[in-house]
Amino acid sequence: MKNKKTVIVVGGGAAGLMTAMQLSPKFKIIIIEKEKSIGRKLLVAGKGGFNLSNNCSLEPFISKYTPSSFLEQSIKLFSSNDLQLFLASLGIETYVGSSGRIFPKEGIKPNDVLKAFKTQLSKNGVQIKVNHKFISYSKNELIVANSNNVKASLFFDYCVFALGGASWSKTGSDGKWTALFQTKNINVIPFQASNCGVNIDWKASVLNHYEGKPLKNISFTVEGKTIKGEGLITSYGMEGNAIYPLIGNVRDLLHASSHAQLFIDLKPNNTHKDLMLKMKGKSFKDYKKTLNLSSLDMALLKAYTSKQDYLNVNTFISCLKKLELPIIGLRPLDEAISTVGGISTTAVNSDFSLKNNPNIFSIGEMLDWDAPTGGYLLQACFSMGYSVANTINKNS
Ligand SMILES: Cc1cc2nc3c(=O)[nH]c(=O)nc-3n(C[C@H](O)[C@H](O)[C@H](O)COP(=O)(O)OP(=O)(O)OC[C@H]3O[C@@H](n4cnc5c(N)ncnc54)[C@H](O)[C@@H]3O)c2cc1C
């Protein structure tokens, strides 16, 4: 029987595991993982609700990515529907939540999803070398070191790097590989936080009473981009699904200056005129009840408007529709849900092979792309993993 070709997958996260899964029936697969177990970030991602993908239709789905054209082919090749079918084939049933987000069915824990991957990989004969760190590579050779720093050479026909971004380093994705790729003349962009919280210069009157409280049914605007959703007041600033998609805009503003402005609309479903009509004939003491404002809304308005604006109905409503909060920074890289930066998209071909070494591929969060939360991050990693497997299958 003809010897199977060897594919080494470096990094046992969403992207790498999908590649290994798709190629394992036909190739000899070795997964190299520096941590003591694979899929650690998957487990972390699953903690607050394992949002695997999104039911959003294809065109708007693709538009969620920056740059969108970069991921178009792979998302089309392996869509959220394909991911659901694939997971079902592993015994992981999914459902679409009210917001279109896709989750494993109730009772299925993140560890069950990871176990299903591991079981199938083991059935397919995939070798998983944990506690093995990749330290260098050349055309067909990978140098790895085990936990005792004993080095070994592994030879490959194809190598797929899926080393992750640079947040939650305790899961393994520490971004420490960048220096090596730079020595190989690969353009690497410095990592920056994405999908992270912001630091806000809170007034004590807000922080002392409202830390941990949510702001529901609001919209946030940064630099003209508006997102409806929720925010959460934290000791340092704001987290939440309405802030994460604006981080790119905040980042740009913070590059240009040391601060940025976050505008809150506390009543995004009412126009200024609607609210003025509600207040007709009412006095200042009726603001809260008539406009259905919470104590937190009132505290924010009081803290971040002038006394004059607060006491005048017209300016009070203007502020309520566009309350300015001072952003003084982004949360640290390691806390971010995802990162931008890493290998430049210009360093890879459209099939994710390295331009200067086409039998080596780079996929997942280690590449410089961005997406909001909502399942788009994991779907992109799974789609890239599938897509690379498809290319390698076709080439062999
Ligand atoms: C708190 C949190 C919540 C999240 N929630 C969601 C969510 O609900 N939905 C969603 O879509 N996304 C979510 N994400 C993002 C998503 O988890 C990641 O985008 C995705 O897991 C990245 O997959 P990856 O395969 O590219 O990298 P990773 O999963 O980070 O895998 C990279 C692997 O490479 C290994 N590695 C690194 N360097 C080396 C080396 N030198 N040698 C060997 N191995 C190495 C690492 O140990 C790691 O196991 C969340 C992320 C976080 C942190």
CATH number for 113: 3.50.50.60
Question: What is the count of structural domains for the chain?
Answer: 2
Evaluate whether residue 292 is within a structural domain. yes
Could you tell which of 377, 386, 388 is best to mutate to test the pocket of ligand 1, judged by most ligand atoms within 8 Å of the CB? Answer: 377
Going from the Cα of 41 to the center of ligand 1, the distance in angstroms, rounded, reads 5
Nearest alpha carbon, ligand 1 atom 51: 337
Residue 160 and residue 21: Cα distance in Å, rounded? 13
Q: Which of residues 301, 330, 359 is at a domain's end? A: 330
Assess whether 308 and 364 both reside in one domain: no
Going from the Cα of 24 to the center of ligand 1, the distance in angstroms, rounded, reads 21
Going from the Cα of 324 to the center of ligand 1, the distance in angstroms, rounded, reads 34
Going from the Cα of 328 to the center of ligand 1, the distance in angstroms, rounded, reads 28
Is the pLDDT at 1 greater than 60? The verdict is no
Evaluate whether residue 1 is within a structural domain. no
Percent of the chain whose predicted confidence (pLDDT) is above 70: 99
Assess whether 276 and 370 both reside in one domain: no
- The 10 Å Cβ neighbour count of residue 57 is 11
Q: What is the DSSP letter of 5?
A: P
Evaluate whether residue 287 is within a structural domain. yes
Assess whether 30 and 59 both reside in one domain: yes
Going from the Cα of 155 to the center of ligand 1, the distance in angstroms, rounded, reads 25
Going from the Cα of 162 to the center of ligand 1, the distance in angstroms, rounded, reads 9
Nearest ligand 1 atom to the CA of 41 is 29
Arithmetic mean of pLDDT, 18-40: 97
Arithmetic mean of pLDDT, 32-47: 96
Assess whether 36 and 176 both reside in one domain: yes
Residue 210 and residue 303: Cα distance in Å, rounded? 12
Across the chain, mean pLDDT equals: 96
Q: What is the DSSP letter of 131?
A: T
- The 10 Å Cβ neighbour count of residue 112 is 15
Q: Which of residues 273, 307, 330 is at a domain's end? A: 330
Q: Which of residues 306, 330, 354 is at a domain's end? A: 330
Evaluate whether residue 23 is within a structural domain. yes
Going from the Cα of 111 to the center of ligand 1, the distance in angstroms, rounded, reads 15
Arithmetic mean of pLDDT, 225-246: 96
Assess whether 266 and 364 both reside in one domain: no
Q: Are 191 and 169 in contact (CB under 8 A)?
A: no
39: left (phi over 0), alpha (psi -120 to 50) or beta: left
Going from the Cα of 200 to the center of ligand 1, the distance in angstroms, rounded, reads 28
pLDDT tens track for 329-359? 999 999 999 999 999 999 999 999 999 999 9
Assess whether 174 and 247 both reside in one domain: no
- The 10 Å Cβ neighbour count of residue 106 is 7
Assess whether 21 and 151 both reside in one domain: yes
Q: Among 110-114, 119-123, 147-151, 286-290, which is the least confidently predicted range?
A: 286-290
Going from the Cα of 334 to the center of ligand 1, the distance in angstroms, rounded, reads 12
Nearest ligand 1 atom to the CA of 376 is 11
Could you tell which of 36, 167, 378, 382 is best to mutate to test the pocket of ligand 1, judged by most ligand atoms within 8 Å of the CB? Answer: 378
User: What pLDDT shows up at residue 188?
Assistant: 98
Going from the Cα of 15 to the center of ligand 1, the distance in angstroms, rounded, reads 8
User: What pLDDT shows up at residue 2?
Assistant: 67
Q: Which domain holds residue 220?
A: 198-330
Residue 64's pLDDT band (cuts 50, 70, 90)? very high
Assess whether 162 and 279 both reside in one domain: no
Assess whether 345 and 269 both reside in one domain: no
Arithmetic mean of pLDDT, 78-94: 98
Nearest ligand 1 atom to the CA of 132 is 43
Arithmetic mean of pLDDT, 155-164: 98
User: What pLDDT shows up at residue 100?
Assistant: 96
Residue pointed to by tokens 């300016």: 315
Percent of the chain whose predicted confidence (pLDDT) is above 90: 94
pLDDT tens track for 198-209? 999 999 999 999
pLDDT tens track for 299-332? 999 999 999 999 999 999 999 999 999 999 999 9
Nearest alpha carbon, ligand 1 atom 33: 11
Going from the Cα of 379 to the center of ligand 1, the distance in angstroms, rounded, reads 12
Could you tell which of 38, 41, 44, 113 is best to mutate to test the pocket of ligand 1, judged by most ligand atoms within 8 Å of the CB? Answer: 41
Nearest alpha carbon, ligand 1 atom 30: 164
Assess whether 222 and 187 both reside in one domain: no
Evaluate whether residue 262 is within a structural domain. yes
For strand 353-354 and strand 198-200, is the pairing parallel, antiparallel, or unpaired?
unpaired
Of the candidates 49, 377, 372, the one whose C-alpha atom is nearest the C-alpha of residue 196 is 372
Assess whether 323 and 369 both reside in one domain: no
Is the pLDDT at 30 greater than 70? The verdict is yes
Evaluate whether residue 230 is within a structural domain. yes
Dihedral sign for Cα 350, 355, 360, 361, please.
Answer: negative
Could you tell which of 337, 352, 361, 369 is best to mutate to test the pocket of ligand 1, judged by most ligand atoms within 8 Å of the CB? Answer: 337
Is the pLDDT at 119 greater than 90? The verdict is yes
Arithmetic mean of pLDDT, 31-43: 98
Assess whether 281 and 358 both reside in one domain: no
| Pocket of ligand 1 from Cβ distances under 6 Å | 10-16, 32-35, 40-42, 44-45, 51, 133-134, 162-164, 167-168, 172-173, 177, 337-338, 364-365, 375, 377-378, 381
Is the pLDDT at 388 greater than 70? The verdict is yes
